[in-house]
Amino acid sequence: MEGGCLCGAIRYRVLAEPFAADYCHCSICRKQTGSVVVAWMDFKSEQVQWLKGQLTYFHSSEFVKRGFCQQCGSTVTFGDSRYQQYTTLTIASLGNANLVKPTYHIHTDDQVSWLTIQDECKRFLHGASD
């Protein structure tokens, strides 16, 4: 699978299926992407090949940095310095976002009240570890 940003300045290829995929409802993801929910997919870092361009990073909290394209502003990555062996990419950045379907929701305690998602996915009030 391949993907990248809106303008094409950033391109990547993943060499495996993601080991996890989720919907995040946290307020930080909402503000950073401009969307009420963000779909993410997780890989071992060595499974992600960067083909073109360099991400710009914003440190949104003590341990988290978010990668985006400096030219078009597209959100591409989420990274936690405590788990550097993993790379998290937005599902929407894939060339075909239909290839990966999230299986759970995180930070549902922060979900906007007017959004109703009726699916069979497991829900976690905070992160997936609760």
- H helices of the chain, where? 27-33
The residue type of 120 is: E
Burial of 92 (0-12, 13-18, 19+ CB in 10 A): middle
**Nearest Cα residue to 56 out of 124, 10, 87, 15:** 10
Q: Return the closest-CA partner of residue 26 out of 64, 70, 56, 69.
A: 64
Residue 127: its pLDDT value, please? 82
Is the pTM above the cut of 0.85?
yes
* Structural domains of the chain, ranges and CATH numbers in brackets: 2-123 (2.170.150.70)
Report whether 69 contacts 3 (CB < 8 A).
no
**How do the pLDDT tens digits run along the chain, 130 residues long?**
999 999 999 999 999 999 999 999 999 999 999 999 999 999 999 999 999 999 999 999 999 999 999 999 999 999 999 999 999 999 999 999 999 999 999 999 999 999 999 999 999 999 876 5
Whole-number pLDDT of residue 130: 55
Conformation bin of residue 107: beta by default, left when phi > 0, alpha when psi is -120 to 50: left
